Structure 1
Amino acid sequence: MTRASYLKDKRYIIGVIGDIPTLLTFWQMFKDQSNDEALKEIGVVAAALPGESVLPEADDSGRRIPTYAGYKTMLEKHPEINMVIEATGRPSLVYELRNYLPPGITLVERNAVSFFINLLTSDKIWVACKLDLLHTQNMLKTIIDQIDQEVLFLDHEGRVVGMNKVVVDRLGVPKRELLGRSYCEIFLDSSNGECEFSQDPFDRAMATRTPAEALTSSVDEDGRVRYFRVYVTPIFDEDGAANHVVASRRDITLRTSMENRLQQAEKLASIGELSTYMAHEIRNPLFTISGFANSLMRYEGLDEKAREKLAIILDESKRLDEILKSLLNFTRPTGAEVREVDLNQLVKATMDVMQLPCSNEDVKAYIDLDPDMAKVRANPDLIKQCLINLVKNALEAMEGGGKLFVTTSMQKNKALLSVEDTGEGIPLDIRDKIFSPFFSTRDKGSGLGLAQTRKIVDEIGGKVDLISVENVGTKITLSLPPLLAVAEDDESE
């Protein structure tokens, strides 16, 4: 490398004065602590070693730096020098240089050199810290974006200042359009930004300075209910102020469904114990009451009013006995014979029977049967009972008339039987209760119809799916296992 090419674009052309140990120490420190940008503007072209008999040349990445026995010779040989660094720190030499150097050459004393090297070091540390900060920031962003739940970063007023990728993907709008909105507008799909929680978890978290949570639900565009748990956690700075808050929303629909199933199973177990007790403790006196009432009815001297009262006693006794039978049947396994069932034929036969009730309620029934429908493995009488239960519920939901759609279809590995009405729909607050035993919104009935339907379908390995939109209608679909193309003995293994 020629001297001209090396000095090109150099802002500071330096000559160094010092003894060999000092020079080597300075040079190593300068090379270690400087960054590339600083080295581009600085060029060391010569060194003076006063009092040294041996003048070795210095080395700078393969470029030889000439050395001289005195600084005057160095300056004569290198008129391009515009800065002299005095590295020894000897006061006499510093004084001499101040008096000798022309105005065009800047003298930098040893203490000043240390100061500027420390500045270079600080700049290098700042760059390293910046790179480390960017790496940490990218790693944190990647982790937060990989979380499957929605995460929002809020200010102390509940306004969005950041979010993870899950939120952006769900809403399908640019991130910048979400900044500054209320977190309720995003988590609750609230158009006016108002929170519809009974107790806003953000307000509770900010008031108590502790994490808070709340449960919320919504109906999707398919009419299915989804449950969410919202968590709000205040973040405190070093002064103890909660200027930022982390809010997250987790979909707990599956967990809620499993909890409801577990609660229903526990309820069924309790009902089973109760029904057994009732069968023993109530049926005996009930049998006695019915027996005496029948005996009195055969008494010839009984007047007409007494006979009417005895008839009421007998009717109510029979009704009570039927309730006991329904209760006992509900809590026991069906134990019914499972065999091949043609759903299309079953639907035709059942709807022929239900045509009159539909006409009486001013309901028009539409039947759509899939010609390629697979047969299912179930008990035909129980499936017929399920269909009747669903049709009766649909008729009750359409008191002023409407339309009823009964369809069969195939979906992947399941056979589907659907009953859809154009009734009033099911309110959101009771939607998770309608399959519970003894729950009914009507004055008549025992509230066991839908519970019995789910129990029957569950026992054969099927599933009951509910879709309902208020003031639009309700659709209940029975997903049933199709009959497999294997021998019965192989299928039972």
Structure 2
Amino acid sequence: MQETSQIHHRRHVIGVIGDIPALLTFWQMFKDQSNDEALKEIGVVAAALPGETVLPEADDSGRSIPTYAGYKTMLDQHPEINMIIEATGRPGLVHELRNYLPPSITLVERNAASFFINLLTSDKVWVACKLDLLHTQNMLKTIIDQIDQEVLFLDHTGAVVGMNQVVVKRLALPKQDLLGRSYCEIFTDSSNGECEFTPDPFERAMSTKAPAEAMTSQVDKDGRVHYFRVYITPIFDEDGTVNHVVASRRDITLRTSMENRLQQAEKLASIGELSTYMAHEIRNPLFSISGFANSLMRNPAMDEKAREKLGIILDESKRLDKILKSLLNFTRPTAAEVREVDLNELVQTTMNVMSLPCANQNVTLQVNLDPSMAKVKANPDLIKQCLINLVKNALEAMHDGGKLFVTTSMNQDHAVLTVEDTGEGIPLDIREKIFNPFFSTRDKGAGLGLAQTQKIINEIGGQVDLISVEKVGTKLTLQLPPILAVAEDDNSG
């Protein structure tokens, strides 16, 4: 039996008056249509059956409810009752109750009781809808927060009204501090209020009522470039009006890198075909030009001005022949012998030679060699060529002097050779081009130094990594395949 104290603590302690059919009908309707929240406020403690034979105690989910032959007896036995529900609808009984009940007891007639029970039904539906809505909202929020790309919800002006957790974690700011900001400020870190997108995909989406996108790039604190694709999608009401806008930002750095490698491979294939043509169609007439120019230079009848012009022809012919040789060497597969190389020894020998150009340019050279370095699988002459290329590039970036660090180390998978300078750094707009063949920021040369370096390292199973910050410096890292113990075991077998 339920504790009486639990009933007393409810707001409404009820006694019900009615004949058996009315009481049973009311009681079933009350139990079916009430909800848990309503029942916490209501407790039925007794029932009266005027003119009826007293029934055994009613049962309410394990709690017995006593019944009485008259309502006066019920009230005497249960002074805690503060509400009477009259379930018969008999006018005489209602009139009698109005005259008998004290002001502390509220009388609820049958029609009024039915009305309030119907309200409980509406409340029950509302609670169910609310729970369903909360479940849907939580599920949607969980899905959006689990998406690995950044998602912003914008109003019609481009101001942020919501976001997923990826944005909050990246910026490390309270969510409340980000609301109301422009989406450009969140996605491009522009604090001057101007959007760097040209044209602005948000404005394009709002004007065309169609999704729009744009690409942007950022340099992180380590000097690495990240590429992002920003997507703007307008959300419409039933009448076709733009209600909100969803903006998302996806990191496409890896995809961009793969596309660049594919494009470079296609370029190399085209260069290979072109170099073969140039070797046959250009070098032969070039050889003739150089031969006749040399012959004329030996002619004593030539005056000084003519010799000067012939000298220019010879110099330019030699320069062109050098470019052709570089091009042919670049496009041919590296056929050099690959063997075991002591990287520390190679670096020390090479930098002993390069120390003089560093000193002449007022560049402080610091060489740090890891004594626990593994030997690498490569061609020593080609690795030396790569190192010289990187050092020359670093010296050209430090016209007014600076510091040059050449370091060897080991990571989990590779032997690492790093050349780092304190020069001008590489501008963002040309950073993705510097490994392209024939791209050069200098007036002289064919622009094959870094492209050749990358080609050599890639062919032996290594990779080249670039980090650069303008006005701070550049770090180029060559990751080389180490000699594995299992390879020695295989060879010895």
Where structure 1 has 5 or more consecutive residues not aligned to the other structure, the ranges are: 88-92
The answer to whether the 8 A contact 1:94-1:109 is kept is no
Q: Does the C-alpha gap of structure 1 residues 17 and 375 become closer, same or farther in structure 2, counting only changes over 3 Å?
A: same
Give 3-state SS (helix, strand or coil) of 1:101's partner.
helix
Q: Which residue in the other structure is 1:184 paired with?
A: 184
The answer to whether the 8 A contact 1:398-1:422 is kept is yes
| TM-superposition CA deviations, 1:74-130 (whole Å, max 9, x none) | 32432367524335xxxxx63333443334376655543332221001112222222
Task: Give 1:273-288 correspondences, 5 Å limit.
Answer: 273-288=273-288
Structure 1: how far apart are the matches of 2:392 and 2:166? 43
1:299 Cα deviation from its structure 2 partner: 5.1
Task: Give 1:166-205 correspondences, 5 Å limit.
Answer: 166-205=166-205
Structure 2: how far apart are the matches of 1:376 and 1:428? 33
Structure 2: how far apart are the matches of 1:274 and 1:242? 54
Structure 1: how far apart are the matches of 2:218 and 2:254? 14
Q: Which residue in the other structure is 1:101 paired with?
A: 97
Q: Does the C-alpha gap of structure 1 residues 282 and 492 become closer, same or farther in structure 2, counting only changes over 3 Å?
A: farther
Task: Give 1:64-213 correspondences, 5 Å limit.
Answer: 64-65=64-65, 73-79=69-75, 82-87=83-88, 94-103=90-99, 104=101, 108=108, 110-213=110-213
Structure 2: how far apart are the matches of 1:387 and 1:427? 22
Q: Which residue in the other structure is 1:266 paired with?
A: 266
Further displaced range: 199-208 or 246-255: 199-208
Further displaced range: 325-334 or 293-302: 293-302
| TM-superposition CA deviations, 1:277-308 (whole Å, max 9, x none) | 11222223223333444454555655555444
Q: Does the C-alpha gap of structure 1 residues 56 and 216 become closer, same or farther in structure 2, counting only changes over 3 Å?
A: same
Q: Which residue in the other structure is 2:16 paired with?
A: 15
1:47 Cα deviation from its structure 2 partner: 5.0
The answer to whether the 8 A contact 1:230-1:250 is kept is yes
The answer to whether the 8 A contact 1:212-1:233 is kept is yes
Q: Which amino acid aligns with 2:143?
A: I
Q: Which residue in the other structure is 1:45 paired with?
A: 46
Structure 1: how far apart are the matches of 2:376 and 2:242? 60
- The aligned length equals 482
Structure 1: how far apart are the matches of 2:486 and 2:46? 93
Q: Which residue in the other structure is 1:456 paired with?
A: 456
The answer to whether the 8 A contact 1:407-1:417 is kept is yes
Q: Does the C-alpha gap of structure 1 residues 287 and 256 become closer, same or farther in structure 2, counting only changes over 3 Å?
A: same
Task: Give 1:49-68 correspondences, 5 Å limit.
Answer: 58-65=58-65
Q: Does the C-alpha gap of structure 1 residues 202 and 464 become closer, same or farther in structure 2, counting only changes over 3 Å?
A: same
Give 3-state SS (helix, strand or coil) of 1:46's partner.
strand
The answer to whether the 8 A contact 1:226-1:251 is kept is yes
Q: Which amino acid aligns with 2:421?
A: D
| TM-superposition CA deviations, 1:389-436 (whole Å, max 9, x none) | 111111211222222222212222321111122211111111111111
Structure 2: how far apart are the matches of 1:96 and 1:231? 75
1:26 Cα deviation from its structure 2 partner: 3.2
Q: Which amino acid aligns with 2:182?
A: S
| TM-superposition CA deviations, 1:141-180 (whole Å, max 9, x none) | 2222211122222233322222222222222222222223
Structure 2: how far apart are the matches of 1:25 and 1:17? 10
Q: Which amino acid aligns with 1:15?
A: V
| TM-superposition CA deviations, 1:166-214 (whole Å, max 9, x none) | 2222222222222232222222222334322222222222222222222
Where structure 2 has 5 or more consecutive residues not aligned to the other structure, the ranges are: none
Structure 2: how far apart are the matches of 1:107 and 1:204? 67
Structure 2: how far apart are the matches of 1:26 and 1:491? 94
TM-score by length of 1: 0.88
Further displaced range: 356-365 or 57-66: 57-66
Q: Which residue in the other structure is 1:399 paired with?
A: 399
> What percentage of residue pairs aligned between the two structures are identical?
75
Q: Which amino acid aligns with 2:470?
A: E
Q: Which amino acid aligns with 1:14?
A: G
The answer to whether the 8 A contact 1:49-1:67 is kept is no
1:361 Cα deviation from its structure 2 partner: 2.9
Q: Which residue in the other structure is 1:90 paired with?
A: none
Q: Which residue in the other structure is 1:382 paired with?
A: 382
1:358 Cα deviation from its structure 2 partner: 2.6
Q: Does the C-alpha gap of structure 1 residues 2 and 487 become closer, same or farther in structure 2, counting only changes over 3 Å?
A: closer
Q: Does the C-alpha gap of structure 1 residues 78 and 321 become closer, same or farther in structure 2, counting only changes over 3 Å?
A: same
Q: Which residue in the other structure is 2:226 paired with?
A: 226
Structure 2: how far apart are the matches of 1:335 and 1:470? 37
Further displaced range: 150-159 or 101-110: 101-110
| TM-superposition CA deviations, 1:316-341 (whole Å, max 9, x none) | 33322222221111112112110111
